[in-house]
Amino acid sequence: MRAVVFGIATIVTVAALATTPAAGQAPAAGAAPVPAAEKKAPNSFSGIKLVDLHARKAEQTVSVRLQDDAMKIIDPTLKKEVASLPYSGLTASHTLASAPPAVAGEPAAASIQPMAPPMYMGKTPRNWLALKSGNDTIVLRVSEHVYAQLKESLAGHNVQVQEGK
């Protein structure tokens, strides 16, 4: 009985291997090509800095989630929603500068240690994304790589990012 089961399993395995092209081989002529998986823009981003120059800490690490109806900004430590920006009426602008855009507030207002140099003095240019929805304005500092992905993902929700100076 075991020999029969083993024999059937061997025949099925050999038949499957014979009809599957080996790695590196092109599919047989006449075989339909297998479509490549369509690359989808991510909808969750982490390690982003939320800029609030009037808070105790000027920059706070947050996560951004793009959901069906709104962009959610979440504090990963507290697992609490910091802001929710609906896509309808959301405007986004990008700047590359050493200091955050003016809508973030005055960098001199940020709390720093006594006798410390200004917070953004001498810094290399960074990617700043200013988001405005209704009366809410949010400024995010993102890496170049995350900015490119976030811009593509926002475009999928019909939010175009305006390039600044």
CATH number at residue 95: 2.30.29.30
Q: What is the pLDDT of residues 4-22, one digit of tens each?
A: 444 454 454 444 445 555 5
Flag whether 82 is in a domain. Answer: yes
Sequence-distant (≥ 6) Cβ neighbours of residue 99 within 8 angstroms: 107, 120, 123
Q: What is the pLDDT of residue 40?
A: 66
Residue 9 in domain: no
Tally of domains within the chain: 1
Domain membership of residue 4 (yes or no) is no
Residue 28 lies in a domain: no
Q: Determine the pLDDT at residue 136.
A: 87
Which tens digits make up the pLDDT trace of 67-103?
999 999 999 989 999 999 999 989 999 999 888 887 8
Range of the domain at 63: 44-163
**157 lies in a domain?**
yes
Residue 33 lies in a domain: no
81 in a structural domain: yes
